[in-house]
Amino acid sequence: MGNFTTLKFFILSGLQDSGVYKPLYFLLVFVLYILIIVVNLTLIFIVALDKSLHEPMYIFICNLCANGLYGTVGFYPKFLLDLQSDVHMISYRWCLIQTYVIYSSALCEMTVLTVMSYDRYVAICRPLQYHSILTPRAVIKLLVLAWTCPLLAKAIGMLLTSRLPICGSYISKLFCDNPSILKLGCYQAIANQVWSMMAIAVYLVQLVFILISYANIIHVCISFSDGRTKFSKTCVPHIVVMVIYIMTALFDVFYSWDGSVNLPVDVRNALAVQFLILPPLLNPIIYGQQLPQIRKVLRRQSRKQKIVCYLRNNG
């Protein structure tokens, strides 16, 4: 135990080879982050301001967008600062915080998507009981569960990690994550591995629940023409969002595999950050474009804005 070192900072080495492209990367990342903020806040405000959208499905979508904003704030501000400097350091405490924010957000996304799949199951498979099952109180309970469980689970995981003595300082990634920190530990953390396996098991159960829900939905929808229309309008966006989330999460997992070291650094970095780019950017766009009710509100707001502009110019 006497040889263990207590480090106060880590060096993020994922940007070491970016060189002259840093200004271009900074501009692209800055524009991307602003775009993510704008599209998510726009959808949240549309649902919040229009009473016709105060339904469980749209409330869950707002929470998905809010979670996207929460997760990206753990990555983009620090990454933009790194693109402005030559030495990419992060304190041990902030590394733990960054890991917690990014990955608790990833876990929350899964739980919110699970709740959304349940909402669609009830709406299509048990439509007459929809309003009696998904009451305002039930919606609040589902949302509390969807946020509290991942946040607490990740907090316990980070608490276990914080107790591990560190004997290294280089993280070969653009941001901190738990596997990278554990690899720098002075000994193998059995407790962390057990807790991670338990968390993975829970989220595999959620994935199975989602698959069963949509299997039942598809079974009901193929039996009725009206069901097919409802499925295409309200369920297809959820399925697309779910596929994007799973694929980008797998990219990040792939980064941690030993075989990934044979890939170029730029490719590994690109794979690792996809879950911080595609879901928060595409989720509000997919829902905004595909769900009829949101499209109607967008058109109505657009017409109002055009009328206001016309009156101002010709007043």
Question: 131: which residues sit within 8 A by CB, 6+ positions away?
Answer: none
Average pLDDT over the chain, rounded to an integer? 84
What integer pLDDT is reported at residue 165 of this predicted model?
A: 87
What integer pLDDT is reported at residue 141 of this predicted model?
A: 96
Provide the pLDDT confidence category of residue 303 given band limits of 50, 70 and 90.
low
What integer pLDDT is reported at residue 4 of this predicted model?
A: 47
Of residues 281, 278, 296, 303, the one with CA closest to residue 233: 296
What integer pLDDT is reported at residue 270 of this predicted model?
A: 82
- Helical axes 278-290 vs 292-314, angle rounded to 10°: 80
What integer pLDDT is reported at residue 49 of this predicted model?
A: 86
What integer pLDDT is reported at residue 2 of this predicted model?
A: 42
Tokens of 261: 């070291």
What is the CATH number assigned to the segment(s) 9-314?
1.20.1070.10
What integer pLDDT is reported at residue 190 of this predicted model?
A: 86
What integer pLDDT is reported at residue 99 of this predicted model?
A: 94
What's the CA gap between 99 and 116, in Å, rounded? Answer: 26
On the CB side of 116, CA atoms within 13 Å amount to 25
Provide the pLDDT confidence category of residue 132 given band limits of 50, 70 and 90.
very high
Predicted TM-score of the model (pTM): 0.88
Domain ranges in the chain are 9-314
The whole-number average pLDDT for the span 93-107 is 94
